[in-house]
Amino acid sequence: MSFPTFAKRLALAAAGLGLTPLFVSAAEAAATVNKGDTTWMLVATSMVVLMTIPGLALFYGGLVRAKNVLSVLMQVLTIFSIISILWVIYGYSFAFTSSASATLNPFFGGLGKLMLAGVGVASETGTFSKETNIPELAFVIFQMTFACITPALIIGAFAERMKFSAVLLFMVLWFTFAYLPMAHMVWFWAGPDAYTLSADNLALVSSLVGEDKAKQLLDALAAATTDDAKAAVLGEYGALVNAGNGYLFNLGALDFAGGTVVHINAGVAGLVCALFLGKRVGYGRDPITPHNLTFMLTGVGLLLFGWYGFNAGSSLEANGLTALIILNTTIAAAAAALAWTAGEWIFRGHPSLLGGASGAVAGLVAITPACGFVGPGGAILIGIAAGFLCLWAVVVLKSKFGYDDSLDVFGVHGIGGILGALLTGVFVNPALGGTGVTDYLAADATAAVAAYSFSGQMYAQVMAVIIAIVWTSVVSFVSLLICKAVFGLRVKEQEEREGLDLVDHGERAYN
C-alpha cells in the first residue's frame, strides 16, 4: 500500500480517534548507526557549506556589476550566518518536530526542540532504510545548510537595488514563514521503522499509537487469516502513523532534495521581489552586464561540487542509491548545459560561456527533486528539458513581461524547479527506469516498491507545485510590505548609480 493510499484514510483516522500527531525518532526502534553513513553525512554537509560560501557568492558576484559585487558577497555571508543561528534556536524544531495542535501539524512543527533541546551526541534519527540510523546532530547540521542557502538564492532576483537592512529583515521573515512550513510539509515524517507493525517493534509502535492500541493492532494482525485482512490492519496502523506527518508528504508528493522546498520556494519569492521592487535604474536602456565571468564559472564549479553533497547527501546513507544520485546529478547538469548551448547557438547565433553555465545550473535545479527517484535516462531527459525551457524563460518570458529578475532566479530556479517537480512524477515510474516509491508498511523489517499510478502521482506533484507557489508568494508579498514599512526597500537612485558596495559597506572590490 502506497503513502497516497494511507493519506486517504488519514482524516477519518485522526477525526475518529482524536489523535494528536506525535513524531517519534526511528532511534527508538532496533536500529544501528553506521560510521560510513555518518562520515558521508558530515562530508556532504561540508560540501553544501562550500556550495554557499564561496560557491553561490562567487556565482552571483561575477554576474553583477563591479560596483555591487561586495554587496552580493556580504548578503550571502550574512544570510548564512543569521539563518544558521535561527536554525538552532527554532528552525529545526519548527521544521522537524510535530506540533501540539493536530490542525497545525500538517503545516508547521512544534516547540519541542527549541535550542535543540533533547538533541545530544547520543541522539539518533532514521534514514530511508529500516533499522538504519544516523546521529541526529548530523541531520540537524545537514538540514541547516539547506535552510541557509535557500534564502540566499533569492538575492539574485533583486540584486543591485535593495537596502541591506531590508534584505536581512526579509530573509528572517521568509525563512520563518515560507521555508520552515514547506520543509515541514514535504519532509517531515515518522521514519521507516515507524511503519513496521510487529512485536519486535513494540516500543516504537506503542509510543506512536499508545500501548492499548498497539496491542489491539498486533492481536488483529495475528488473527488475520487472509491477505486482505492483514492489509486492512496494516492500513489502519499506517493511517495512524501518518497522522503525524507533513501535509505534502502524506499527499504522496516526491521531492528528494528540494525542488519545492528550495527551488520553487526561492524562485517564486525572487519573482515577487523583482516585481515589488521594480526595475534597476537604467534597465532596458543602459548596458547592464556581468563584470567577471571567470568568477561566475568558478562559482558554478563550486556549486556543482556542493550539489553532490546537496543531492546525494539527501539519501542520508552511503550506498548504491547515493552513487546513482551523483551520476544523475552530473549527467542532468551536462545535458542541460549542452541544451542551453545548442539553443543559444541555433536561435541567437553563438554559444556563450554564461549560457552554458546557466544551463548547467538549470539542470542541477531540475534534477534536485528527482535525483533519487529516476534512472540515468530520465536524468538526461530532465536535463535537456531544463536547458531549453529555462533558456526560454530567461530570454523570452522575462522580455515579454518586462520584469527585472537581475540574475534570473525565477527563470532558472523557479521554472527549473517546477519542471523538475513535475517530471519527477513521470520518471519515477519503474517502467521508465525509475526507482519507484518505497512502501515501508509491513509486519516485519522489510519494504517493497509500491504500484505506480501516473494520475495519482502527478496529482500529488501538481498540488505540491501549486501550494509552494501560492505559499511563498503570499509570504514574500507580506514580508516585503513589512520591510517597506520598517526600513524602506530600495536605496535612493543616486546611491544605486554609485553602487551598493560603497553605499552599504563603505568599500570597493577593486582599487
> Is the entire prediction scored with pTM above 0.85?
yes
Helices (H), 155-263: 164-174, 180-187, 202-209, 211-223, 227-242, 247-251
Between the alpha carbon of residue 164 and those of residues 147, 170, 340, 488, the distances in Å are: 20, 10, 33, 10
H or E stretch including 324? helix 320-348
Phi and psi dihedrals of 351, rounded to 5? -90, 130
H or E stretch including 112? none
> In this structure, what C-alpha cell is assigned to residue 371?
535525483
Q: In this predicted structure, what is the pLDDT of residue 127?
A: 96
pLDDT reading at 156 higher than 60: yes
Chain-wide mean pLDDT for the chain? 94
pLDDT reading at 412 higher than 50: yes
> In this structure, what C-alpha cell is assigned to residue 45?
554537509
Q: In this predicted structure, what is the pLDDT of residue 172?
A: 98
pLDDT reading at 380 higher than 80: yes
Residue 502: exposure state from Cβ atoms within 10 A (0-12, 13-18, ≥19): middle
Confidence category of residue 133, pLDDT binned at 50, 70, 90: very high
pLDDT reading at 15 higher than 70: no
Mean pLDDT of 379-392: 98
Number of Cβ within 10 Å of residue 279's Cβ equals 16
Q: In this predicted structure, what is the pLDDT of residue 24?
A: 39
Residue 392: exposure state from Cβ atoms within 10 A (0-12, 13-18, ≥19): middle
- Lowest mean pLDDT across 13-22, 135-144, 302-311: 13-22
Q: What is the pLDDT of residues 482-505, one digit of tens each?
A: 999 999 999 999 999 999 999 999
Confidence category of residue 32, pLDDT binned at 50, 70, 90: confident
Q: In this predicted structure, what is the pLDDT of residue 321?
A: 98
pLDDT reading at 407 higher than 50: yes
SS3 (DSSP) at 352: coil
- Lowest mean pLDDT across 8-17, 134-143, 345-354, 390-399: 8-17
Q: Which residue has the cell 488483529?
A: 220
Q: Do the strands 132-135 and 32-33 form a parallel or antiparallel pair, or are they unpaired?
A: parallel
Q: In this predicted structure, what is the pLDDT of residue 28?
A: 45
Mean pLDDT of 304-322: 98
For the packed helices 202-209 and 211-223, what is the interaxial angle rounded to 10 degrees? 120
pLDDT reading at 17 higher than 60: no
CA atoms of 7 and 247, how far apart (whole Å): 9
CA atoms of 413 and 107, how far apart (whole Å): 23
Mean pLDDT of 134-152: 98
Confidence category of residue 25, pLDDT binned at 50, 70, 90: very low
Q: In this predicted structure, what is the pLDDT of residue 30?
A: 60
Task: Tell which wins on pLDDT, 137 or 10.
Answer: 137
CA dihedral 483, 487, 493, 494 (to 10 degrees): -150
Q: In this predicted structure, what is the pLDDT of residue 418?
A: 98
Q: In this predicted structure, what is the pLDDT of residue 14?
A: 35
Looking at residue 407, its amino acid is: L
Q: In this predicted structure, what is the pLDDT of residue 31?
A: 79
